[in-house]
């Protein structure tokens, strides 16, 4: 069973479009994250949700809006896509609080977004 899954795996779209990426984890973790990995391979955190509550919100354009309907899902919606949004977007999860705290973050396979 896949622990952290993302859909779609590849996304090619035109500038100005709106798109969404979905993420699901079946590890029972309380915290989920979105990271962006650009062409220079830097992985940077964008957002984090703990039990559906936003706890990390980095300096990201407000065209990016995360949504967490429950603690097992964290989606990312991007409005008015720009060329510079082309990157690989990784979802991750961890257990941040409680006795079963696990610092390790488990990553999904990534979504390769190409904006033309």
Partner 1 sequence: RKEVEQDPGPFNVPEGATVAFNCTYSNSASQSFFWYRQDCRKEPKLLMSVYSSGNEDGRFTAQLNRASQYISLLIRDSKLSDSATYLCVVNKGNQGGKLIFGQGTELSVKP
Which residues contact partner 1 by CB under 8 A?
31, 33, 40-45, 48, 50, 55-56, 90, 94, 96, 103-105, 107-110
Q: For residues 59 and 53, is the Cβ–Cβ distance under 8 A?
A: no
Using the minimum distance from each CB to partner 1, give the nearer residue, 9 or 80. Answer: 9
Q: Name the residue with tokens 């993302």.
A: 6
Q: Provide the minimum distance between the beta carbon of 105 and partner 1 in the complex, in angstroms, as a whole number.
A: 6
Which residues, 6+ apart, have CB-to-CB distance to 99 below 8 Å?
none
Q: Provide the minimum distance between the beta carbon of 9 and partner 1 in the complex, in angstroms, as a whole number.
A: 11
Q: Provide the minimum distance between the beta carbon of 89 and partner 1 in the complex, in angstroms, as a whole number.
A: 11
């Amino acid at each position: 069973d896949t622990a952290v899954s993302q859909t779609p795996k590849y996304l090619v779209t035109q500038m100005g479009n709106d798109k969404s990426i979905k993420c699901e984890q079946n590890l029972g973790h309380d915290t989920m994250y979105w990271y962006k990995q650009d062409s220079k391979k830097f992985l940077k955190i964008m957002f984090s949700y703990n039990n559906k509550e936003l706890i990390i919100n980095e300096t990201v354009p407000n065209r990016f809006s995360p949504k967490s309907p429950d603690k097992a899902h964290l989606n990312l919606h991007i409005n008015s896509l720009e060329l510079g949004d082309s990157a690989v977007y990784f979802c991750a999860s961890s257990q941040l609080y409680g006795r079963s705290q696990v610092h390790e973050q488990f990553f999904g396979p990534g979504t390769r977004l190409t904006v033309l």
